[in-house]
Amino acid sequence: MIDFTEAQIERYSRHIILPEVGAEGQSKLLESKVFMIGAGGLGSPVAYYLAAAGVGTIGIADADVVDSSNLQRQIIHNQDRIGMPKVESARETIQALNPDVKVNTYNYFVTEENIRDIIRDYDLVIDGCDNFPTRFLVNDACYMEKIPLISGAMFRFEGQVATFKPHQVKGAPCYRCLYPEPPPAGLVPSCSEAGILGALAGAVGTIQAVEAVKELLGIGDSLAGKLMVFDALRMEWKKLKLRKDPGCPLCGENPTITELVTYEQACELKFGD
């Protein structure tokens, strides 16, 4: 267990006094490594709260730069950083909040060639991307590397959060059990086309961060095998049960996907809108 400084005891005191966390749990967080896909709408609150919690290493992949249209929801950035790579902007914000946290930046797209080498150095992956090709790539890589994945998505006034770890929980599905293949390009409009409620990103991303801390500490009930759905207009949260698909092309009884697949447009779309 880490030998805490007096400053760290003060900083993390509200965690340490929780019986479910304690000094041992806080030490575990400081030794944990989380990899995030995207430093946008979902990545912003996730990164903020994981850094505040004292997660020791946070890796962030995003190939985009800060734009003024991002600032309505991507709270990790600010007006002075327009034009700056998002990963660098996120790093500055995180280190200003908590110097205990090491930030690894990946200012490029994850692809079938690099993602497995990257994520195998981390304990947990959080997906906050805004396109289906990347979402499927991340799911497949996490399954192959046996790393838990916390996935978040949002559209206009609705959001979803799920945890996928079929390698750890018997009968739990992977993302492909829900959606075997990405939808055709152009079928689902982007945030720039359909719009997005800015504060929705905070609601969904914060749930992802809570789930991440629980997974790292091994406490509470996991969202593995469940899907949290949030309707902001009706202010309703629903928890749906997910089932493993025996015919899933990735984790099913007779898998047909044994290598990573890069779908069309995977490298053309931005992360974490």
pLDDT digits (tens, 9 = 90+) for 71-111: 999 999 999 999 999 999 999 999 999 999 999 999 999 99
| 255 within domain boundaries | no
Least confident of 11-20, 143-152, 247-256, 257-266: 257-266
| 118 within domain boundaries | yes
Q: How far apart are CA 237 and CA 250, in angstroms?
A: 29
The confidence score (pLDDT) of residue 268 equals 35
| 173 within domain boundaries | yes
Q: Which of 101, 35, 50 is nearest to 271 (CA)?
A: 35
| 270 within domain boundaries | no
Quote the domain boundaries for residue 174. 17-241
Burial (Cβ within 10 Å: 0-12, 13-18, ≥19) of residue 184: exposed
Q: Per-residue pLDDT averaged across 62-73, rounded?
A: 96
The confidence score (pLDDT) of residue 38 equals 96
The confidence score (pLDDT) of residue 2 equals 84
Q: What is the pLDDT confidence band of residue 1, given thresholds at 50, 70 and 90?
A: confident
The confidence score (pLDDT) of residue 269 equals 33
Q: Count up the domains in the chain and report the number.
A: 1
The confidence score (pLDDT) of residue 271 equals 38
| 178 within domain boundaries | yes
The confidence score (pLDDT) of residue 227 equals 96
| 251 within domain boundaries | no
pLDDT in tens, 173-201: 999 999 888 877 665 666 667 789 999 99
Q: Per-residue pLDDT averaged across 240-246, rounded?
A: 95
| 23 within domain boundaries | yes
| 7 within domain boundaries | no
Which CATH number belongs to the domain containing residue 116 in this structure? 3.40.50.720
pTM recorded for the entire structure: 0.93
Q: Which residues pair with 104 in a beta bridge?
A: 59
pLDDT in tens, 38-61: 999 999 999 999 999 999 999 999
Is pLDDT of 266 > 70?
A: no
